Amino acid sequence: MAKILTILTIPNQILRKKSEDVSSKKLAEKKLQALALNMVKTMKERDGVGLAAPQVGENIRLITVNTKDGVLILFNPKITKNSFAKEWAEEGCLSVPGVYGKVRRNKKINCVYFNISGEKKKISAEGLLARVIQHEIDHLDGILFIDKAKDIQKADSINL
Ligand code: CO
């Protein structure tokens, strides 16, 4: 049974470390498979659109994304193509609670990754999905959306 993990928040320094690639041998291990499934459960429970492993205390290159067509688990995600066009949109982050700001991201991306079975995959994404993937990959490099955001706003403290 997957379990709900604790999400680290700023200023925890794990969020600021660069994460390591996952080897194909490691990817097949039960421990990492369980971590990925626990991340999916945690993301859904906390109503997140995405989650990166450093947010649950693991500095490895693993992200999960909640799309309208289902959940994606991406090991070693790497953006291979960026659209010239960029756009601003509001973001938030479970590791920076109650804070929102506008971030400029590439409108469309191509991303290669390994799925939970260790198969190499490619995804073309645009709009929100492209944005979420870029936000989560930033986490793997120790970058938080507040580093890039403008018009940063703090939600009412009563509004959790
Ligand atoms: Co985040």
In a domain, 160, yes or no: no
In a domain, 8, yes or no: no
Residue 136 known to be catalytic: yes
Instruction: Identify which has the larger pLDDT, 69 or 41.
Output: 41
Among residues 58, 87, 90, 136, which one is catalytic? 136
In percent, how much of the chain has pLDDT > 70?
97
In a domain, 112, yes or no: yes
In a domain, 134, yes or no: yes
* H or E element at residue 41: helix 30-45
- Judge whether residue 159 has pLDDT over 60: no
- Judge whether residue 156 has pLDDT over 80: no
- Judge whether residue 155 has pLDDT over 90: no
For residue 145, what are the domain limits?
Answer: 13-154
Q: Phi, psi at residue 95, to the nearest 5°?
A: -90, -5
Instruction: Identify which has the larger pLDDT, 156 or 45.
Output: 45
Ligand 1 mean position, distance from CA 122 (Å)? 22
In a domain, 6, yes or no: no
Q: Token pair 């604790």 is at which residue?
A: 6
Number of domains in the chain: 1
The CATH number given to whatever domain includes residue 53 is 3.90.45.10
Contacts of 147 (CB under 8 A, 6+ apart): none
Q: Tell me, what's the pLDDT at 160?
A: 45
In a domain, 2, yes or no: no
